[in-house]
Structure 1
Amino acid sequence: MTAPAGNENTLRESVVALGASLFARGFSVGSAGNISVRSGDGFLMTPTNSSLGRLDPQALSELDAQWVHTAGPKPSKEVVMHQAMYQARPQAAAVVHLHSTYVTAISCLDEEQPIPPLTPYFIMRLGRDVPTVPYYKPGSPAVLDDILAAGQRGPAVILANHGSIVAGSSLEDAVNAAEELEVSAQLAFLLEGRATRPLNEEQIQDLLG
């Protein structure tokens, strides 16, 4: 799925606007987090050490279909995680990586399924569960295989002791799903220790169907 060439300026403006929205609401702080989106035959990506709250639409990194940096500032060092998600989900048009507070807290827990399926929106936007991959040093190419495998299970992956990476059919879809993941993690913390009523298998299948 590629965007028409004439859409590039719109995509650039959308990356800036949605990045600023995530930053303003605390989903990303400092220079944490990054965004990529398909554009033409390649990708646009937020540059290394850039803040999602202070992006310049004409200063985004450009990469070709093989993830070779072709123009603009140097891309985020997390480029390998984005590459893995696009490989795992070929129809994805955008990928969002965040260090949002509650998902990052969840990522530090030693649990098989840290976020239960409590709401229909969790299922509809993220799938029946969100897998967690082991910890890797940020930017390490060794993470590729684990994210590739986890990303084939659903559009969202929790990165142990790090944060999340989420793919979507559009940039807006990826951002919405990343926000849903953060809110679902917050719900999991708010309800910890209390008797909950997760969606049952019949309800989950109805939503997935």
Structure 2
Amino acid sequence: MIQDYQIQEFLRQAHRVGDAGLTLCSSGNISWRIGNEALVSGTGSWVPTLPKEKVSVCRISDGEVLNGVKPSMESGFHLGVLRERPDCDVVLHFQSKYATVVSCMTETPKDFNVTAEVPCHVGREIPVIPYFRPGSPELAEAVKAALKDHNSALMLKHGQVVCGKTFDEVFERAMFFEMACRIIVLSGGKYNTLTNEEIDDLESYVLGKKG
């Protein structure tokens, strides 16, 4: 049973995403697993100012809407990722300024590892998803497949999607994704990336510190 305090926390986190400039007006959507159900921003809602009455409650297993509020058109990939990734409780689709520019480039970067934060938080490899109509079953399947073994993905001519265990993890992932793309765009394509050896050394250090 979804509690009011959980809805309030979901709203707080949605507004945090908007305040950070990760979404604009009705762009983007967010979901949060609570037991066997998920809170999903409602269709046509503005994440930066998401109100309680635009929060949809869906059953994760089959997508059935439990409170009469229609979820985002992208709920197919939100629920699909939550089904595929029991280790992840939050999914965020965002369209931040520079990362969205990168998604529209004629030549998509092959390597986003411009700083240590990228392989540590966003992902050593970021899958690039071909363009599919927003809200389409094809896009939902493509996102689900991309995030099966990754935590971040770039959707061509559309935006970005990240997943994680907590709101903080997902927020950090999205912010560093945007930071990397800002560096790529502002450098005019003349940027350095970490070598495989540097990333291996970095990962060993981080894992060693965590252990």
Give the TM-score, by structure 1 length: 0.88
Paired residues of 1:127 and 1:208 also in contact (CA < 8 A): no
Per-residue deviation, 1:50: 0.7
Task: Give yes or no for the alignment of 1:90 onto 2:86.
Answer: yes
Give the equivalent residue in structure 1 for 2:42: 47
- Aligned partners of 1:90, 1:39: CA distance in 2, in Å? 12
Distance 1:103 1:138 in 2: 17
- Tell me the equivalent position of 1:60: 55
Partner residue, 2:107: 111
Per-residue deviation, residues 112-146 of structure 1 (Å, max 9, x unmatched): 54552011111111111211111111110112332
Given that 2:38 and 2:60 are in contact with CA atoms closer than 8 Å, whether structure 1 keeps it comes out as yes
- Superposition CA RMSD, Å: 2.0
CA contact (8 A) 2:60 2:82 kept: no
Question: Any conservation in 2 of the 1:60–1:72 contact (CA below 8 Å)?
Answer: no
Q: For the residues of structure 1 that align with 2:44 and 2:110, how far apart are their CA atoms? A: 30
Pairing 1:17–2:8 present = no
How far apart are the structure 1 equivalents of 2:81 and 2:60?
14
User: Is the 8 Å Cα contact of residues 59 and 66 (structure 2) preserved in structure 1?
Assistant: yes
5+ unaligned residues in a row in structure 2: which ranges?
Answer: 205-211
CA distance in 2, matches of 1:171, 1:112: 28
CA contact (8 A) 1:93 1:167 kept: yes
Q: How far is the alpha carbon of 1:69 from its aligned partner?
A: 0.9
* 1:147 shift after superposition: 1.7
Q: What CA distance in whole angstroms lies between the structure 1 residues aligned with 2:22 and 2:108?
A: 24
Q: In structure 2, what is the Cα distance between the partners aligned to 1:77 and 1:193?
A: 34
How far is the alpha carbon of 1:183 from its aligned partner?
Answer: 1.4
Q: Which residue of structure 1 lines up, in the alignment, with residue 176 of structure 2?
A: 180
2:101, 2:84 → 1: CA distance? 25
8 A contact 1:42–1:64 mirrored in 2: yes
Q: Counterpart of 1:164 in structure 2: which amino acid? A: Q
Equivalenced residues, count: 203
Distance (whole Å) between structure 2 residues aligned to residue 81 and residue 11 of structure 1: 22
Letter in 2 for 1:166: V
**TM-score when scaled to structure 2?**
0.87
Task: Classify the secondary structure of the residue corresponding to 1:176.
Answer: helix
Return the alpha-carbon distance in structure 1 between the equivalents of residues 166 and 110 of structure 2: 27
Of 27, 36, 42, the residue aligned with 1:32 is 27
Residue in structure 1 matching 2:117, options 112, 121, 140: 121
Partner of 1:140: 136
Report the residue type matching 2:24 in the other structure: V
1:148-172 Cα offsets, whole Å, 9 max, x none, are 2211231011111000111011122
Residue aligning to 1:202: 197
Q: Structure 1 residues 112, 28: CA separation in 2 closer, same or farther (over 3 Å shift)?
A: closer
Q: Which residue of 2 aligns with 1:74?
A: 70
Farther-moved stretch of structure 1 (143-152 vs 163-172): 143-152
- Specify the alignment match of 2:145 in structure 1: 149
Percent identical across equivalent pairs?
Answer: 27
